[in-house]
Amino acid sequence: MAMLPIDLRGKRAFVAGVADDGGFGFAIAKSLAEAGATVCVGTWPPAFNIFQTLLRRGKLDESMVLRDGSKMELERVYPFDADYDTYADMPEDVRESRRYKEHGDVSVDGTVARLKADFGDAPNLDIVVHSLANGPEVKNPLLETSRKGYLAAIGVSAYSMVSMVQRLGPLMRPGGSFVSLSYLAAERVIPGYGGGMSTAKAALESDTKLLAYEAGRKWGHRVNTISAGPLGSRAATAIGFIGEMIEYCKQNSPIPQAITAADVGNMAAFLASPLGAAVTGTTLYVDYGYHAMGKTAPQPATT
């Protein structure tokens, strides 16, 4: 029987923002691997050694089993901090700190250099995933957010995507796919999601359109963002009310179901594949339709 496959054999992906097996980054890496891509990941330096230890000790083996029974192999794990475009941008106290010193240049530029050293100067990437965000004051209401905290949220969570497209675009073969991860807070009020993070997601979605135009005209690459429903990842749990959000969205979505990380992984694999060739500059919702609702749904009567 003829099938319409998501076939990424012969493609290489770089997934930035993987430090455990619980978040969207890992799920995207796994879906890309299921489709046949080879996968490199970028891990935040303070979490790098812990992640490597988990891998080495087999703690993630169960999560890495693919549908055919084989185990996902990560081609490379790079220490990566998207807060810095170049090594010169890293303050000396960061460079010399215990969690950074051994890794050297973990900037976006440094990672480009590592990819070239490992795979050659010719374009060697096809898929780049931006699965990272940080807002140091995310628990603060916007009215109580400092300028420094606000700009830090935008720098790590939004500008880093611009920097990655700018620097990794030339390393990608024609028809490359960039994907980032957004959240409904970019366009609706989510009380408790503060510190300028909602602003950063709005910037990310706006930049997706402009980057799609510029990268499309310059290299033929596509740029999209996935607005995912709430997931109880380690990063989300830090905000403190994720369980409530998951339940609320589940109860009020057109299809009353909570999303899984794999739902997002599969959308990213579709976008990276030839099946998504005409999709660019778009925010795609993976939330069982919650974004379409304007009022809470009637709840079944409880007895």
Q: Which residues are catalytic?
A: 183, 193
Q: Are 80 and 42 contacting, i.e. CB atoms less than 8 angstroms apart?
A: yes
Distance CA 27, CA 255 (A): 22
User: What is residue 300's three-state secondary structure?
Assistant: coil
Look up residue 164 and give its two tokens. 């990655």
3-state helix, strand, coil in the chain (%, to 5): 45, 15, 40
Q: Which amino acid, 208?
A: T
Q: Are 160 and 132 in contact (CB under 8 A)?
A: yes
Ranges of H-type helices in the chain? 24-34, 45-56, 92-95, 108-119, 147-154, 160-168, 197-219, 234-237, 242-252, 261-272
How many alpha carbons lie under 13 Å from residue 38 in its C-beta half-sphere? 9
Q: 18-39 in b/e burial notation, b at 16+ Cβ within 10 A?
A: bbbbbbbbbbbbbbbbbbebbb
Residue 127, H or E segment: strand 125-130
